[in-house]
Amino acid sequence: MRRFHIDCNLDYQVDGPTHFLFHIEAARCPGQEIIREQLQVEPEVKLRHFADEVSGNRFFRFDARAGKVSVRYRAAVGLEPVSRDGDLGQVGISDLPGELLHLLTPTRYCESNLLESAAAKLFSGVEPGIKRVEAIRDWVGENIEYRIGSSDLTTTARDVFVQRAGVCRDFAHLGIAFCRALNIPARLVVGYVKFEEPPPDFHALFEAYVGGRWLLFDATGLAPVDRLVRVGTGRDAKDVAFATMFGPARMLAMSPEIEEIK
Q: What is the mean pLDDT of residues 98-118?
A: 98
Q: Is 106 helix (H, G, I), strand (E, B) or coil?
A: coil
Residue 262 has a pLDDT of 84
Please check the confidence at residue 54 and state whether its pLDDT lies above 90: no
CATH fold of 2-80+242-261, please? Immunoglobulin-like (2.60.40)
**What is the radius of gyration, based on Cα positions, of the chain?**
19
- Burial of 239-254, coded b for 16+ CB within 10 Å and e otherwise, reads bbebbebeeebeeeeb
- Whole-angstrom Cα distance, residue 216 to residue 127? 19
Q: Which residues contact 224 (CB under 8 A, 6 or more apart)?
A: 193, 218
92 class by beta-carbon count within 10 Å (0-12 exposed, 13-18 middle, 19+ buried): exposed
Q: What is the mean pLDDT of residues 72-94?
A: 94
Residue 39 has a pLDDT of 98
Architecture of the domain spanning 93-239: Roll (3.10)
- Say what percent of the chain tops pLDDT 90: 92
- Whole-angstrom Cα distance, residue 215 to residue 253? 32
- Whole-angstrom Cα distance, residue 68 to residue 132? 48
> Facing residues of 12 across strands?
69, 251
Q: Quote the mean pLDDT of the chain.
A: 96
Phi, psi of 183 (to 5 degrees): 65, 35
Residue 198 has a pLDDT of 64
- Whole-angstrom Cα distance, residue 78 to residue 4? 6
Residue 229 has a pLDDT of 97
Q: Nearest Cα to 92, choosing from 129, 52, 126, 118?
A: 129
Please check the confidence at residue 87 and state whether its pLDDT lies above 90: no
Contact 247, 50 (CB under 8 A): no
What's the predicted TM-score (pTM) here?
Answer: 0.95
Q: What is the mean pLDDT of residues 141-155?
A: 96
What is the domain partition of the chain in residue ranges?
2-80+242-261, 93-239
Q: Nearest Cα to 25, choosing from 47, 51, 58?
A: 58
Q: What is the mean pLDDT of residues 42-62?
A: 95
- Whole-angstrom Cα distance, residue 70 to residue 28? 24
Residue 188 has a pLDDT of 98
Write the pLDDT tens digit of every residue in 188-229: 999 999 987 767 789 999 999 999 999 999 999 998 899 999
Residue 2 has a pLDDT of 95
- Whole-angstrom Cα distance, residue 194 to residue 252? 22
The DSSP 8-state label assigned to residue 30 in this structure reads T
